[in-house]
Structure 1
Amino acid sequence: MTLTDAPLIAVADACERAVRYTREDIAAFARLTGDTNPIHHDAQAAQRARHGEIIASGQQTTALMIGLAASHFSRADDGRPRELLCLNFNFAFKAPVFAEQDLLLRWRVASVEWNATLGGWLAHADGTAGVPHAAPAVVGRGTLLVKAASGN
């Protein structure tokens, strides 16, 4: 790949996915990841806590956000197979994520530049997760390296 070839990722490229957690999903994810905070599985403890009900762990939503970015930006649906490395992600938690809420996960590419040393396109993407038409519960920024798949 050279700078004159068409980028495999471009500014304003975007993806989104709708998700909904059940209380059981939240408790199972917390157990799987070793998060023993009772606000993720104990309704009585959650009622006594600040938000009053069971909330998802931050890592549950960020894991799905990273998975969405990795799946979308490594796609080959345009006949141009890609290799993707997720180099860095940072997240801030702005509001709790409750069970039985519809959430919309989104990423949008903010900048792209060719990196000759890495042999690919470095992209910075901005992400959000939250209830549609409301302020985001989670905001994120990711750095991705997108290259042509080996052998292409």
Structure 2
Amino acid sequence: MTGAPRVVTLGETFNSTLALSTDSIKSFATLVNDLNPLHHDDAYAAHSRFGGLIASGTQPTAHFMALLATHFSTYAQPLGLEFDIKLKKAVHAHDTLTISWRVRDAQWKPSLKGDLTFLEGSVVNQRGELVLTGTSTILVMPKPDATAPADTESNPR
């Protein structure tokens, strides 16, 4: 049996911004072992169709996904289950990204002891260009209260 969400709020939105320097692009690509010269070699990238250094697709994707954990962990225990991400446009060095998510739907799942939560999100650059879209399904469980016994019937918020 499922019911109304107990942890998340339907329609809830949240966002963050991310400024990408040349050094952050090179460092991140190195960290994830993406050795494509478009992420490391300024001269090579300058002569490419992009006209300069671009971020590895894993960089905006990682920040996009991480915002879910960062946001929900402030009041609950989130667990990522599924992500569908589409890269729409290259992210260039010195871009500032706005990462946004919205809770589209959620339902309490007693068997999982949390809200099965469905979200949709996007990332736009400082010019308002869409660079990434995605959807996610996550489980958001109440934080355990060390001073009270577990109660799956009450609203933890």
Q: TM-score range, shorter-chain basis? A: 0.7 to 0.9
Q: CA RMSD in A?
A: 1.7
Aligned position for 2:47: 48
Size of the aligned set, in residue pairs, is 145
2:130 alignment partner, SS class: coil
Taking the TM superposition and a 5 Å limit, the aligned residue runs for 1:1-152 are 3=3, 7-76=6-75, 82-132=76-126, 134-151=128-145
Q: Which amino acid aligns with 2:30?
A: R
**Percent identity of paired positions between Structure 1 and Structure 2:** 31
1:137 alignment partner, SS class: strand
- The 3 A distance-change label for structure 1 pair 130 and 146 is same
CA shift digits 1:56-105 (9 cap, x unpaired):
011111111111111111212xxxxx211011112101001111122101
2:34 alignment partner, SS class: coil
Per the normalisation by structure 2, the TM-score is 0.85
Consecutive unaligned residues of structure 2, counting only runs of 5 or more, are: 151-157
> Which stretches of structure 1, 4 residues or more, deviate above 6 A after TM superposition?
none
Q: Distance in 1 between matches of 2:73 and 2:127?
A: 28
Consecutive unaligned residues of structure 1, counting only runs of 5 or more, are: 77-81
Q: Which amino acid aligns with 2:120?
A: D
Which is worse superposed, 39-48 or 29-38? 39-48
Q: Distance in 2 between matches of 1:67 and 1:17?
A: 11
Q: Which amino acid aligns with 2:38?
A: I
